[in-house]
């Protein structure tokens, strides 16, 4: 898309704006998901897991890729969503969609409050602050075992059927489509945001924050808004996890999980919107396959995979794809 095309008047109607710049191949991930569901029924539970983590990684991409903030504590919002959804369910609120919505709101609130503090800092302090938030929430959950189950985890989550009809069963079918729908809706929102003036101002902040201040952009406010949205989506992912697995463990609030999801995102490529869609399945399926083949030594092959990706697919797999695509374009 040339610069001239981009700066002509954007379409006004909502539908036109939704479909603005949408390429045909963007339907691929969704079609692939549905095809995979029918082709590999034994893998449906793990596919559901992939969908939820993709949503989580997508929310992380907003913070890391679009706001340019390095966070090692994004699991704080995921975990907040998970525990909120779980606790509500344990105490009787088991309607999935409203449960998830409330959990999302809770995560957004926590995101807003912590973001207000975190975003005022720079450099290492930011990283340490994100870590501090996660570690603190983790310890709180650990020590309020009476409510959260502590390191035993939160059990007894019994969700009512989605829309009154679709029960969560051991085969994971309902969970799959439920997560897929949530991911789709969230993605639509994120895509809209990223391609809107709001999204462009975020890119500007990431590229040259001084300039953005100079032209009068309310930098801090924008970042906080984006951060809160990212926290909300992470919370949604956590809520989905709690609802479909019907279990919440302390790991949902851990530094380990934050690191894992960051790795998944980096594999796919940061700031490219679809990085999560590539990196998450690659990581989770590779881990699953490697761990089945050689449970004791899968770490080795996983490590080799990561090193190879860094050496040969610098910037993530989408960056590699972009380079190959550019090279072909320039050859042609």
Considering only residues 143 to 162 of the shown chain, the ones binding other proteins according to CB under 8 A are 143, 150-153, 155
Q: Of 17 and 203, which CB lies nearer to other proteins in the complex structure?
A: 203
Q: How far is the CB of 86 from other proteins (least distance, A)?
A: 11
Taking phi first (over 0 means left), then psi (-120 to 50 degrees means alpha), and beta for anything else, what does residue 315 get?
left
Supply the DSSP symbol for 72.
Answer: S
**Using rule CB under 8 A, residue 241 touches other proteins:** yes
18, 144, 304, 323: which one contacts other proteins (CB under 8 A)?
A: 304
Q: Of 193 and 306, which CB lies nearer to other proteins in the complex structure?
A: 306
19, 22, 188, 310: which one contacts other proteins (CB under 8 A)?
A: 310
- Per-position b or e across 75-112, b if 16+ CB within 10 A of its CB: bbbbbbbbbbbbbbbbeeebbbeebbebbbebbbbbbb
Q: Which of residues 45-104 bind other proteins (CB under 8 A)?
A: 45-46, 49, 64, 70
Q: Which tokens go with 92? A: 């009787």
Q: Of 58 and 129, which CB lies nearer to other proteins in the complex structure?
A: 129
Q: How far apart are CA 22 and CA 57, in angstroms?
A: 21
**Using rule CB under 8 A, residue 291 touches other proteins:** yes
List C-alpha distances in Å: 48 to 82, 113, 190, 267: 16, 31, 20, 20
**Using rule CB under 8 A, residue 129 touches other proteins:** yes
Q: Which of residues 221-240 bind other proteins (CB under 8 A)?
A: none
Asked if residue 70 lies in contact with residue 118, where contact means CB atoms within 8 angstroms, the answer is no
Query: Of 280, 239, 270, 263, which is closest to residue 33 (Cα–Cα)?
Result: 280
**Using rule CB under 8 A, residue 296 touches other proteins:** yes
Pick the stretch among 93-101, 169-177, 193-201, 217-225 that binds other proteins (CB under 8 A).
Answer: 169-177
270, 273, 280, 318: which one contacts other proteins (CB under 8 A)?
A: 270
Total residues at interface with other proteins (CB under 8 A): 79
């Amino acid at each position: 898309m040339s610069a001239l095309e981009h700066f002509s008047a954007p379409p006004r109607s909502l539908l036109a704006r939704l479909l603005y710049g949408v390429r045909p191949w963007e339907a691929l991930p969704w079609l692939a998901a549905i095809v995979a569901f029918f082709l590999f029924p034994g893998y449906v539970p793990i596919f559901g897991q992939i969908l939820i983590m993709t949503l989580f990684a997508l929310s992380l991409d907003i913070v890391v890729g679009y706001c340019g903030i390095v966070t090692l504590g994004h699991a704080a919002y995921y975990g907040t969503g998970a525990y909120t959804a779980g606790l509500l369910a344990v105490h009787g609120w088991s309607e999935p969609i409203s449960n998830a919505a409330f959990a999302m709101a809770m995560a957004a609130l926590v995101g807003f409050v912590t973001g207000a503090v975190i975003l005022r800092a720079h450099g290492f302090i930011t990283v340490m602050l994100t870590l501090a938030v996660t570690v603190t929430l983790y310890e709180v959950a650990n020590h309020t075992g009476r409510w959260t189950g502590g390191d035993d985890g939160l059990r007894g989550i019994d969700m009512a059927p989605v829309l009154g009809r679709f029960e969560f069963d051991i085969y994971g079918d309902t969970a799959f489509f439920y997560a897929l729908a949530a991911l789709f809706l969230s993605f639509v929102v994120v895509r809209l945001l990223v391609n809107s003036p709001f999204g462009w101002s975020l890119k500007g902040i990431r590229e040259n924050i001084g300039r953005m201040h100079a032209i009068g952009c309310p930098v801090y406010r924008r970042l906080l808004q984006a951060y809160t949205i990212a926290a909300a989506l992470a919370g949604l992912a956590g809520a989905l996890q709690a609802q479909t697995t019907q279990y919440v463990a302390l790991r949902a609030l851990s530094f380990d999980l934050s690191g894992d999801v960051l790795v998944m995102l980096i594999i796919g490529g940061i700031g490219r919107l679809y990085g999560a869609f590539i990196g998450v399945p690659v990581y989770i399926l590779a881990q699953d396959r490697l761990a089945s083949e050689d449970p004791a030594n899968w770490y080795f092959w996983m490590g080799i995979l990561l090193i190879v990706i860094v050496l040969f697919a610098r910037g993530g797999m989408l960056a590699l794809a972009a380079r190959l695509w550019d090279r072909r374009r320039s050859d042609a």
